[in-house]
Amino acid sequence: MKHAHTHDLEHDLLAAAQWCAKRGEKLTDQRREVLALLLSAQGSMKAYDLLAEIQKQRPTAAPPTVYRALDFLVTAGLAHKLESKNAFVACCDFEHPHHGLMLICDRCHKVTELSDERLAARLAEDAAGHGFSVAAQDIEVRGLCRNCRDGDTKGAA
């Protein structure tokens, strides 16, 4: 998720704070700081990368601070954990609970989130056919994004 302007980031953070308030929760300063880093990232970020960024401003920040914030953000639907990379990415559509389909570029590590209600319904239906109830599932698909793929095509010509 790209945010070219600070205004976009501030708008997204305000929307996230309002989302939390609707849920009876609070987007604390620490949670806000971690979410802002995720929203500003070109791809996913690992917890220790987030901690390193935070420590630039607050050298005494400790890992539990980041892990607690990430746990909250994932539980609130504001972020997704990419299990294959043990990394996190901001959710592009947190106001609509969904199963995320994450397209992860193997070269530049950009993450694009798709929200497909038909896919989520099909997954739940197929799982139910096996007596399985899906609680949550983010699907990770790896490959090359358009920019990286087009770069390969141009280089081959």
pLDDT (tens digit per residue) in 26-48: 999 999 999 999 999 988 999 99
Q: What percent of the chain is predicted at pLDDT more than 70?
A: 88
Question: Does the residue 46 lie in any domain?
Answer: yes
Question: Does the residue 137 lie in any domain?
Answer: yes
Question: Does the residue 100 lie in any domain?
Answer: yes
Give the closest residue to 25 by CA, choosing from 85, 71, 62: 71
Structure tokens at 156: 């081959």
Question: Does the residue 1 lie in any domain?
Answer: no
Angle at 10 between CA 104 and CA 12, to 5 degrees: 45
Question: Does the residue 30 lie in any domain?
Answer: yes
- Cβ atoms 88, 79 nearer than 8 A: yes
What's the pLDDT at 5? 41
Q: Where are the beta strands (DSSP E) in 52-99?
A: 79-82, 87-90
- Cβ atoms 16, 78 nearer than 8 A: yes
CATH number at residue 24: 1.10.10.10
User: Which residues form the domain of 109?
Assistant: 6-156
Give 5 or 113, the one with higher predicted confidence. Answer: 113
Number of domains in the chain: 1
